[in-house]
Amino acid sequence: MAETPTIYVLNGPNLNLLGTREPEIYGSDTLDMIAERLRSQGGNLGFHIEFRQSNHEGTLIDWIQEAGAKAAHAILINAAGYTHTSIAIHDALKAVTVPVFEVHLSEPKEREAFRHTSYVGMVAKECFSGHGAKSYELALDAAAQL
């Protein structure tokens, strides 16, 4: 029997505060609510969802490398603030052969100028942003179609 393919959903710093952190920008859904919906959606699409969050750059890099080593079907990543600062995360994503989809709740290009550069986006197949929590669901649909 074939093993269920896995899609990693990785979340960066401060996303553990969703639901209370600037709801006018990020919405009222908590990260747990998003995880629950994605696990259900992923199951319906025939995928196991490995959903994780860390405030630590090195931990995110370890998980990216793990996804590569385990030949995950895809990585969905909301690197949060690291999107605009982390060459290390960029390099880790570039080093694995797993397709990458960038996710953002808000639309970074409509916010402060420092958010306009995305090191994650430079290696991602596609970016889903500005749709609130629905950005994750749209990215999962796209990843499942690979």
CATH code: domain of residue 50: 3.40.50.9100
One-letter amino acid of 122:
M
Residue 131 located in a structural domain: yes
pTM of the model: 0.93
* pLDDT for 24: 73
Q: Pairing state of beta strands 74-78 and 48-53?
A: unpaired
Confidence class for position 116, pLDDT limits 50, 70, 90: confident
Catalytic residue among 26, 82, 119, 136: 26
* pLDDT for 1: 56
Question: Is residue 100's pLDDT more than 70?
Answer: yes
Question: Is residue 114's pLDDT more than 70?
Answer: no
Q: Are 74 and 143 in contact (CB under 8 A)?
A: yes
Q: Give the domain extent around 40.
A: 6-144
Residue 26 known to be catalytic: yes
Report in angstroms the alpha-carbon separations of 125 from 29, 39, 98: 26, 22, 10
β-pair partners for 121: none
Question: Is residue 128's pLDDT more than 90?
Answer: yes
Q: Give the chain's mean pLDDT.
A: 93
Catalytic residue among 8, 82, 90, 104: 104
Could you give the number of structural domains in the chain? Answer: 1
Residue 119 known to be catalytic: no
Residue 98 located in a structural domain: yes
Residue 24 located in a structural domain: yes
Per-residue pLDDT tens digits for 1-50: 568 999 999 999 999 999 887 767 776 799 999 999 999 999 999 999 99
- Give the contacts of 119 (CB within 8 A, at least 6 positions apart): 82, 83, 84, 85, 86, 87, 89, 90
- Which tokens go with 124? 């991602």
The CA distance from 48 to 8, in Å, is: 9
User: How many CA atoms lie less than 13 Å away from 137 in the CB half-sphere?
Assistant: 11
Residue 120 located in a structural domain: yes
